[in-house]
A = this chain, B = another copy of it.
């Protein structure tokens, strides 16, 4: 596992604090390791049923193609059939809107990804970046 549970919890804590500070709707935060596997999740009270699946899809999509999910959205705007095809090819879960952010260390090594859903996609991304940077790591929300 390239990202420890303690780090994941720090990222989640920071992202949720940012959400509260900015008055966002209930957030669901998923942290995956570099292999795309779940390390930690928290779904805030009042979030709807499938928010884990959506947040997972943002982070999983980001890791699948090696770019933040904002870049996936840009590609989806240009070539929706490409994103649909890749979603299928990678086994299903890829949500191409902002809020799926790669996590790297200071040297640029990939550690994992964070996916957030609950408010607007832009705000979801804001909370993710805040959580990652608060843990002393580098956030890559786009290409």
Q: Report A's interface with B, CB cutoff 8 A.
A: 1-2, 4-5, 9, 33-50, 52-54, 56-57, 61, 63-67, 73, 76-77, 79-97
Contact = CB atoms under 8 A, between A and B. Distances in A.
B48 A64 contact: yes
Nearest to A92: B88
A89 B89 contact: no
Main secondary structure of the interface of A (DSSP, over half): mixed
A90 B1 CA distance: 17
Given A57-B86, A65-B48, A92-B88, A38 B34 contact: no
B49 A64 contact: yes
14 contacts: A5-B43, A37-B52, A38-B43, A39-B42, A50-B64, A50-B86, A50-B90, A53-B64, A80-B80, A80-B84, A81-B96, A82-B97, A85-B87, A89-B93
B83 A80 contact: no
A43 B40 contact: yes
Given A48-B66, A89-B95, 16 more contacts: A35-B37, A37-B50, A38-B41, A38-B43, A38-B52, A40-B42, A47-B66, A48-B67, A49-B64, A50-B86, A54-B90, A57-B85, A80-B81, A84-B87, A87-B88, A88-B94
A18 to B, nearest CB: 16
